[in-house]
Structure 1
Amino acid sequence: MDGITFGRVTVTLPHLNEPGLYLSNVASLDSTRGIVQDFQYGDADLRALDLAETRLVTGRVSNLRADRVQLDQVRIDSVEFDTCDLAAARIADSKLSRVVFRNCRIMGAGLIGVTLDNVLFDNCKLDYATFEQIRSTGPVALSKCTLTEASFTGCDLGGAVLDACALRLTEFGRGKYQGLDLRGNDLTTLRGVANLGKVLIDRTQQAELAEALVAELDVTFADALDDQ
């Protein structure tokens, strides 16, 4: 397994080019056996991708476009998603381990009750996505991703890092964020700043958090009243 480090977090990646590993081309990610293993799938344009109680183990998914994605109670291990359009995906009650999403469009997605362990989102569009009850049991990194108006609610992200992400109006609701690494991001337009106790930032970001808090409180400055 290869690894990539972001700050204090090292994410273990699936090593799909190791000697002796052969990935077979498959026509579908669905299987009557409930498991698809050592596979390669891509260059597909689907109306819907619906998987339930399925395992995807050791594989690569590339150039996949699906109008609707529903993954329910799915286990994904050692899989790379490259240049996929999974907009409006719904992923629920699932576990992802050693998974990479690279150059993917996952806008408006909903992840609910998903466990993440060694997962990397690299250069992905996650605008308007909703993350509910997400739990990081191992390293998790979002690098160079856009999260415009995305929201996190009831999440446990203590082992996660956001690196060089666009966080315009990204909202953090109640959750466990102790140790969440927010260094290297512009925090001025974050929402839910009061919920980000014990996160990791640079000293230069103190002013950014203060600006975000002032905007969220919608305070009125006295000198503005004096000018009226």
Structure 2
Amino acid sequence: MTTRTFGRISIALPDLADGYLSNVTSLESGRGTVQDFNYADAGLRDLDLAHAHLITGRTTSPRASYVRMDEVRVDSVEFDGCDLGDLQWADSKLSRVVFKNCKIMGGTFNDLTLDNVLFDNCKLDSSTFERIRAAGPAAFTHCALTESTFTGCDLTNAVFNDCTLRDTEFRRGTYKTTDLRGNDLSALRGVGNLAKVVIDRSQQIELTQALIAELEITFGEP
């Protein structure tokens, strides 16, 4: 089993071997399950999946202007170079899933359970994450999350590593031991909700700057 380690967590990656992945032209199936698949270079107007199960596969460079995923179970799948416009993903569980070099601007992620899930070098600006639960290891590394919002999430033990967190807002949620080391925290929003997160000592000044901006504190002249 291949893993990647980020801070105190290790993420199990999808176990994919090209030799047994079959090329498919669609992620839809009459049986609701697509397994051992390779889905590549598709240009779509929209992608609409509901009550589906994706098992062991790779999705490479699909481009879609509208994507809706509802009650889609994903196990051992890699999404590489995807450009998914207006993504709405809800009520799903993802296990051993990697999003790599993906562009998901303004995406909406609602009620997802993450277990061994990695977002690597993805553009996720202006995205909304609501009621996301990290049931297992989860990490965002080298991701752009400018003006994105986390609301009602349980990101216990999740890791954010070398991410752009400018005007990223953490609203009420559970962030116990969420690892924020290795990021610039000076422009975070919702600092008061980040109880029990993990930071480096050098980041204390950055969090102070973010809190001062959030409280709109001004410094009086002598």
Other-structure match for 1:103:
101
What residue identity is the alignment partner of 1:5?
T
Gaps in structure 2 of 5+ consecutive residues: none
Other-structure match for 1:10:
10
- How far off is 1:86 after superposition? 1.0
CA deviation profile, 1:10-65 (whole Å, cap 9, x unmatched): 110002028xx600001100001000000000111100100000000000000100
Equivalent residue of 1:206, what SS? Answer: helix
- How far off is 1:159 after superposition? 2.3
Q: How does 1:13-162 map to 2 (within 5 A)?
A: 13-17=13-17, 22-162=20-160
Equivalent residue of 2:61, what SS? Answer: strand
What residue identity is the alignment partner of 1:45?
G
Name which of 210, 213, 216 aligns with 2:214. 216
Other-structure match for 1:186:
184
What residue identity is the alignment partner of 1:66?
A
C-alpha distance in 2, partners of 1:57/1:159?
26
What residue identity is the alignment partner of 2:132?
I
CA deviation profile, 1:151-197 (whole Å, cap 9, x unmatched): 00000000210000000000000000001000000000000000000
Equivalent residue of 1:53, what SS? Answer: strand
The 8 Å contact of residues 188 and 212 in structure 1, kept in 2 or not, is answered as: yes
Q: Which has the larger radius of gyration?
A: 1
C-alpha distance in 2, partners of 1:175/1:129?
17
What is the count of residue pairs matched by the alignment? 222
Equivalent residue of 1:57, what SS? Answer: strand
What residue identity is the alignment partner of 2:20?
Y
The 8 Å contact of residues 137 and 159 in structure 1, kept in 2 or not, is answered as: no
Name which of 156, 180, 196 aligns with 2:194. 196
The 8 Å contact of residues 148 and 170 in structure 1, kept in 2 or not, is answered as: yes
TM-score, normalising length from structure 1? Answer: 0.96
TM-score, normalising length from structure 2? Answer: 0.98
Segments of 4+ in structure 1 off by > 3 A? none
What residue identity is the alignment partner of 1:15?
D
What residue identity is the alignment partner of 1:30?
E
C-alpha distance in 2, partners of 1:90/1:111?
6
Other-structure match for 2:171:
173
CA deviation profile, 1:132-151 (whole Å, cap 9, x unmatched): 00000000010000000000
C-alpha distance in 2, partners of 1:113/1:92?
6
- How far off is 1:88 after superposition? 1.8
Gaps in structure 1 of 5+ consecutive residues: none
What residue identity is the alignment partner of 2:14?
P
What residue identity is the alignment partner of 2:15?
H
